Amino acid sequence: MEVVVPSKEEYIHFFRLAETVLQDGIPKLSDGEIIALVSNVNWVAFPLQEEETMEEIENRPDPHIDLRLLDSTVRIGLRCNTVRSVDKLQNILLDYHLSEKAVLVDSMRKLDDDFETMVYAKIKEHNWSERGDYQRRFQRQTNQLDTAGIEEMFQRSSEIREEGKRRMKEEGLPHNPVTPVIEIAFTTIDRLNDQLYLSKLSQLKPMFEACLKVKTEAAIRAEERKNVSKKVIPRKTNFSCPKCGKQFTDAEARQKKFCDVDGMKIRTVFIYN
């Protein structure tokens, strides 16, 4: 049976519907700008406010919500399509992102039963620009994933990363032939059911927003250093003679400055709790 590929213009309708759900999360585009974002392989992802080109969206260091239209269905999902986006999202497991992880897990558990989560190995044997071959390495019903399941999802993606690095080294390849792709959650629905489409997109929205809040390890370290520098650490001050050890009050230390027993300059020591 021949697969009918829709025209790029047919994506406009789904962008307009998405504007009612994602609102300020995506820019307001003209019909022509929407068409320009649809790839020649029948795929498109919603841009963020600061993104203008397909290249910017595809190389985003964060997940994206993407669409694929066929004759009678629409596939919608939340995906990490780049190594940078996979690595960054994995930081959601750190204690720094406990609140984001809680939102992600809770939102996944609330998804309809037809949502699935998958991890693929994207294989590019010859060069980085070729169209990849996808091998499934992990698959679960999304609303059945708990924290342990999410950790397993990232473990599979890490194994794929190591496989690519090993092959580059052993085979002397100029490009990484194996990289991970994480389909955080996706489903395929009847293309003519607008209300169902809006429902699925609404379910993905809190997951998408939580993922966008995840920071790189460098950004987390910088934030933690900043917080430490601002933190006021309780302390008390000790005034004493460094030779005989005689203790003085604050007023005595300021008035005398030197020990009246040994003549040594009174030492000030800060004791932090």
Q: Could you give the strand order of the β-sheet that contains 73-80, starting from the edge strand earlier in sequence?
A: 44-45, 64-69, 73-80, 178-190, 116-123, 133-141
Q: Is residue 98 part of a domain?
A: yes
pLDDT at 210: 97
Beta strands of 161-226 (E only): which ranges?
178-190
Q: Please tell me the predicted confidence (pLDDT) of residue 212.
A: 96
Q: Residues with Cβ < 8 Å from 156, sequence gap 6 or more?
A: 119, 137, 138, 180
Does residue 154 sit within a domain?
A: yes
pLDDT in the model for residue 232: 58
Query: CA–CA separation, 101 vs 93, rounded Å?
Result: 7
Are 117 and 247 members of one domain?
Answer: no
Q: Is residue 228 part of a domain?
A: no
144-167 average pLDDT score: 93
Same domain, 79 and 177: yes
What's the number of domains the chain is made of? 2
pLDDT confidence of 231, banded at 50, 70, 90?
low
Contact 184, 170 (CB under 8 A): no
Cα angle 39, 40, 43 (rounded to 5 degrees) comes to 45
Q: Could you tell me which residue, 259 or 106, shows the higher pLDDT?
A: 106
Task: Give a yes or no: residue 163 inside a domain.
Answer: yes
Over 70: is that where the pLDDT of 198 sits?
A: yes
pLDDT digits (tens, 9 = 90+) for 108-136: 999 999 999 999 999 998 887 778 889 99
Give the pTM. 0.80
Q: Where are any strands of DSSP class E within the chain?
A: 44-45, 64-69, 73-80, 116-123, 133-141, 178-190, 235-240, 247-248, 267-272
What's the domain range around 23?
8-223
Whether 130 and 38 share a structural domain? yes
265: in domain:
yes
CB 12 within 8 A of CB 35: yes
pLDDT in tens, 5-48: 789 999 999 999 999 999 999 999 999 999 999 999 899 999 99
User: Is 15:45 a contact under the CB 8 Å cutoff?
Assistant: no
